[in-house]
Amino acid sequence: MTVITTSPAQTEQLGERLARILEGGDIVTLQGDLGAGKTRFSQGVAFGLGVERSYPITSPTYTILNEYEGRLPLYHFDFYRFGAESDLRELGFEEQFYGRGVCLVEWPQRLAAGFSEEYLEIRIDLLGDDARSFTLIPHGSAFEARVVSFGQNIKKCFDHDSVSCY
């Protein structure tokens, strides 16, 4: 499923909508170049999970992990600064990855494969100055049905002229 957003605000709204279908233990990966909108999307997810809007949701590029408390704990990772094939076990984040919260992972490419068989992969592509495409790829059975219903929900609530689902 692919959705196109045409403003940062709309990307945030998309994240907020996604938060509604997230459950404890979910892992969502965000792949896209610098400036694609991974952090902006994450802000929407945080607000959608009930983190207060006034709370600053910042990029964890230097801290690696930012933690927020919403209806579920949110663990926002950015592995940009790690070398390829970093081992999650050595990094010591197993508690978050296999806990009761939601993990949002920027730069999952830096991790050696196999942190989980069940995760939602989101690929973000820059289409133009303000246009971004979000492609949702479910891995494992847990996300398949949820991504379908998310797509239907997005079609209903987003302006058809500026957002397309296909």
Binding partner of 48, given ligand ADP, Mg ion, none, CB within 5-8 angstroms per partner class: none
Q: Does residue 39 belong to the site contacting Mg ion (CB under 5 A)?
A: yes
Cβ-contact 109, 124 below 8 angstroms:
no
In whole angstroms, the minimum distance from the beta carbon of 85 to Mg ion comes to 21
Task: For residue 84, count other CB atoms closer than 10 A to its CB.
Answer: 9
C-alpha distances (whole Å) from 67 to each of 130, 131, 134 are: 28, 29, 24
In whole angstroms, the minimum distance from the beta carbon of 57 to Mg ion comes to 11
Cβ-contact 143, 118 below 8 angstroms:
yes
Which of the ranges 9-17, 58-66, 108-116, 157-165 carries the binding residues for Mg ion, by CB under 5 A?
A: 58-66
Pick from 2, 21, 50, 59: which binds Mg ion (CB under 5 A)? 59
Binding partner of 146, given Mg ion, ligand ADP, none, CB within 5-8 angstroms per partner class: none
Q: Does residue 76 belong to the site contacting Mg ion (CB under 5 A)?
A: no
* Residues contributing to the site for ligand ADP (CB under 6 A): 5-8, 11, 32, 34-40, 59, 130, 132
Q: Does residue 109 belong to the site contacting Mg ion (CB under 5 A)?
A: no
In whole angstroms, the minimum distance from the beta carbon of 161 to Mg ion comes to 28
DSSP 142: G
C-alpha distances (whole Å) from 68 to each of 10, 12, 48, 49, 103 are: 22, 17, 12, 9, 11
